[in-house]
Structure formats: C-alpha cells, structure tokens
Amino acid sequence: MTDSPFRVIVVEDDEDVALYVQTILRRRLACDVKVLASADGYETLEDEFDPEVVVTDLELPGRGGFELLADIRARRSDLPVAVMTAHAGAEYAERARRQGADDYLAKPLSSKDLVAAVERLARRRRGEVPVEGS
C-alpha cells in the first residue's frame, strides 16, 4: 500500500459544491485535488495530473457530464469515475452506470458517501485491498 495522496479531478460548475468536495477530500482523505468548472481543458489536465479518480457533475455548461464520461471511457476505460447530480432517481443513476460511471452520488452530497466512494475507487485503481466496511 502506498502512502502518496490519491489524485482526484473534480469537474463541477457550482463554485460552492466544488469547494465543498475539494475541502472534504483534502481534509478527510488528504487527496491532491484539481478542480475544473467545466469539461473544457479536462484532457490536458488529465494528461498532466494523471488522476486516480474523477468526480464529475452531470449538468455542466457546454459539454455535459455524460459527454465527458463518454470521452473519459474512450481515452482511459480503467479510470474510475463517480458522477454526482441533483437529479435523483433510479433511471438517471442507471443511465450513468450504463454509460460507464463507477459510482453515483446524489446531491446534496453526503460527505461520508463522497469519501467512501473516492477511497474505494482510488484503492481499486491502485490495486489495493478494499478497506474493511467499504
């Protein structure tokens, strides 16, 4: 098991939500977090930062979260992606999973669920044994 921080890209256009996610991940998991307000520039950041997990909103300006998810799957099918949205409901969650999302987080976000999802996905990406209770 490595002690280096998990590298996470957060794509979220709501500044308050982005700050909340960034703060929770830094404080609770000591993650190295990069934030984008839209999908623009994602590919460049991914190449430079080499994330272990991406957390993205589905409702983004311009290229939406479903489009971003499809692009990530085309580029790096092994990169875990958790999607977050205010659209509650099994239908929306199922669509996200069908399109390749590894986890689905409903807004308002629970810090406990966010931390659990990112830790589980990052450890899986690193090939580490899941944490007890995950």
CA-to-CA distance for 55 and 73, rounded, in angstroms? 14
DSSP string for 106-130: ESSPPHHHHHHHHHHHHHHHHTPPP
pLDDT in tens, 29-64: 999 999 999 999 999 999 999 999 999 999 999 999
pLDDT band at 134 (very low <50, low <70, confident <90, very high): very low
Write down the residue that tokens 């409901």 correspond to.
89
Spell out the residues 6+ positions from residue 119 whose beta carbon is closer than 8 angstroms to its own: 6, 29, 131, 134
Residue 116 has which token pair?
């659990």
pTM of this structure: 0.92
Tell me the mean pLDDT in the region 108-127. 96
Percent of the chain residues topping a pLDDT of 90? 80
pLDDT digits (tens, 9 = 90+) for 77-107: 999 999 998 876 778 788 889 999 999 999 9
Distance CA 27, CA 36 (A): 19
Q: In whole angstroms, what is the distance from residue 8 CA to residue 34 CA?
A: 6
